[in-house]
Homo-oligomer: A and B are copies of this chain.
Amino acid sequence: MITAARGSTLTARNWQTEAALRMFHNNLDPDVAERPDDLVVYGGTGKAARDWPSFHAITRELTGLSEDETLLVQSGRPVGVMRTHEWAPRVLIANSNLVGDWATWPEFRRLEAQGLTMYGQMTAGSWIYIGTQGILQGTYETFAAIAAKRFGGTLRGTLTLTAGLGGMGGAQPLAVTMNGGVALVVEVDPDRARRRVETRYLDELATDLDAAVARVERAKREGEALSVGVIGNAAEVLPELLRRGVDVDIVTDQTSAHDPLAYLPRGVELGDWSDYAATKPDEFTDRSRESMAEHVEAMLGFLDGGAEVFDYGNSLRGEAKLGGCERAFDFPGFVPAYIRPLFCEGKGPFRWAALSGDPADIAATDRAILELFPENESLARWISLAGERVAFQGLPARICWLGYGERHLAGVRFNEMVASGELSAPVVIGRDHLDCGSVASPYRETEAMADGSDAIADWPLLNAMVNTASGATWVSIHHGGGVGIGRSIHAGQVTVADGTALAGQKIERVLTNDPGMGVIRHVDAGYPEAASVARERGVAVPMDR
């Protein structure tokens, strides 16, 4: 069983490598990872290391690495150590990348079976997954945006229907109840559902569909905030709920649809899943796509009935289309629908983790955030809700969406707190790959860009290079996260606040340039909001001078 070291004593040679080591191990902590024995962290088969020999070699290399060396990781396997310099990242990571014509699931799986690659998802292979909280604020903000758009600012008295209670999907019920609404969540695997109850993301698990429906209808009527899980296959339960005419207000989904082998087709037993998928991947894929088509048909039924329906970034529409559902793209993805205006300000899922392991350190950073941005009410609401309701998994961590001009203030402040002893050990500051300027993903982050540049993938590569050039501690470039192989390219960065003056300079550069990529990406695509942000906050845009 792997857990990250805690406390303020180094096990590696410096805090930069200690940080990478602790976060790498933290990703595989049984409280954090979905299937740590298989090195799987979250999101289908998103892994932290290719195999156990690679795990041990990475651990050994990080333990011995000096302040001017850099470890290279190729799809979860350590392949080199090179002498660089003290401003350089300590780890450079490239996961799951394939040349375009070969960027398909079957080819990926063929190479994976030969031990040549692994699926890195987003924060799994880049060592900054922090458990379900990681997606919680994004989900909370998304539902808050829907509440604002359609329901007068609150989800009170509304019913949200969704599926998937995995590592990310598990955030949905809590995000709905934090917005005052009722959630009904379909999950095929009882263990997953129980885990969400244990970690307080899900309020209760119904014994069957009738009970679930009765419970959520009453809560909706009474304006109670409540989340109910029900065991079943989404491809069966959603059509059934549509037939019954249940009055649903919002429909989405977070099963692992990005990987057809990680979505259970109708009529397949839970116990047969892994064997069947492993032995007959093509047949399984056909069947899961067919089921996704039926699943999406039901969502379209709710759409036609007036519900707010959206794809929550798992490629469900794309796979359903391949399964024969012509109208799959009739409802939008969540980014163009609710998130893009935030991206134009350089906002995205900023996060940090306390390497001490001490929740008091996060409490101190929470207070610091409130002091830094006193005028930001929704941020204040989130920070206090999170303090009350979020159970930490592994190293204590916090997420909140901050924009250009804000992130570096928080980072520099945290670094000062480490220096002054207000925090008991260094913290790492990173983000999801799902950020404003770090992804090309035409079914999700870059869906329906104003200028049609959805598929242009230069941006995440520039993002990785500029973070490498700005002093990030580790930087990663991944392929296929979120929406699956062939459908996305994205980059991540994590920077250590160890209290030194050098770390302060690096943090200032990285946390300016990284969200700066989001601003310039959206300026370039023609978003006037982004152009104003650039002008007002001083982001240099050569073609606009």
Contacts and interface: CB of A to CB of B under 8 A. Distances in A.
Nearest to A54: B543
Nearest to A514: B82
Interface string A56-68: 0110110000000
Contacts of A356: none
Given A85-B471, A111-B455, A101 B103 contact: yes
Nearest to A90: B469
Interface string A89-125: 1001011111111111001000100101100000000
Contacts of A95: 458
Contacts of A479: 100, 457
- Which of A61, A487, A509 has the largest number of chain B CB atoms within 10 A? A509
A451 B54 CA distance: 18
Contacts of A441: 99
B107 A455 contact: yes
Interface string A427-453: 000000000000011100000000111
A509 B452 contact: no
Contacts of A362: none
Interface in A452-481: 452-459, 461-462, 464-466, 468-471, 475, 477, 479-480
A94 B461 contact: yes
A83 B513 contact: yes
Contacts of A107: 455
A60 B459 CA distance: 22
Nearest to A97: B457
A537 to B, nearest CB: 13
A464 B460 CA distance: 13
Contact of A453 (B101, B111, B488): B111
A142 interface: no
Contacts of A85: 87, 469-471, 505, 509
B456 A81 contact: no
Interface residues of A, number: 85
B543 A466 contact: no
B461 A78 contact: no
A520 interface: yes
Given A75-B458, A458-B75, A92 B543 contact: no
Contacts of A451: 114, 116
A416 to B, nearest CB: 20
Contacts of A20: none
Contacts of A524: 74, 77, 79
A540 interface: yes
A72 B461 CA distance: 11
A48 interface: no
B99 A457 contact: yes
A470 B80 CA distance: 14
A213 to B, nearest CB: 39
A323 interface: no
B456 A111 contact: yes
Given A94-B462, A94-B465, A485-B100, A541 B80 contact: yes
Given A456-B97, A459-B74, A516 B82 contact: yes
A542 B459 contact: no
A75 to B, nearest CB: 6
A507 B179 CA distance: 56
Given A452-B116, A477-B461, A540 B81 contact: yes
Interface string A494-520: 000000000001000100110011001
Contact of A461 (B97, B521, B540): B97
A126 B465 CA distance: 15
A128 interface: no
A51 B58 CA distance: 45
A453 B453 CA distance: 30
26 contacts: A58-B542, A60-B542, A74-B524, A75-B456, A75-B458, A77-B524, A79-B462, A80-B539, A80-B540, A82-B466, A82-B509, A82-B513, A84-B470, A89-B469, A94-B459, A97-B457, A97-B461, A97-B489, A99-B455, A100-B485, A101-B486, A103-B103, A116-B452, A117-B458, A461-B461, A465-B475
A509 B84 contact: yes
A392 to B, nearest CB: 32
Contacts of A453: 111, 116
A73 B102 CA distance: 27
A88 interface: yes
Contacts of A520: 72, 79-80
